[in-house]
Amino acid sequence: MPTIIVTLIGIMATVFAVSSSIPQIIKSIKSKKTDDVSIWLVIVLIIGLGLWVVYGIGINDLVILIANSIAVAINTILLILKIKYSKDPIS
């Protein structure tokens, strides 16, 4: 595969992965319901993304660092919504 195409696929993969929680945030704000969303999904994801941030620092890769920092911020919003709008948050 040509390098430019591989790089483009990598960038697209990052954009999709980072932005995947945005529709969930929009839905949660609109419905004010997050009962069926697992808080462990969000917590495990934030830990994983946080480790990617550390990894980005470790290998001095600014793309990994910035993309995952944005993803941590987005999923922290989702975590707040989960706790705020859930009858039983720890579920």
List residues near a second copy by CB under 8 A: 1, 5-6, 9-10, 12-17, 19-21, 23-24, 26-28, 31, 33-38, 40-41, 44-45, 47-49, 51-52, 54-55, 57-59, 91
Shortest Å distance, C-beta 34 to a second copy? 5
Cα 91 from Cα 37, distance rounded (Å): 8
| Of 19 and 80, CB closest to a second copy | 19
CB of 39 to a second copy, least distance (A): 8
Q: What is the DSSP string of 18-74?
A: HHTTHHHHHHHHHH---TTS-HHHHHHHHHHHHHHHHHHHHTT-HHHHHHHHHHHHH
Least distance to a second copy from the beta carbon of 62, Å? 15
Residue 78, both tokens: 């989702």
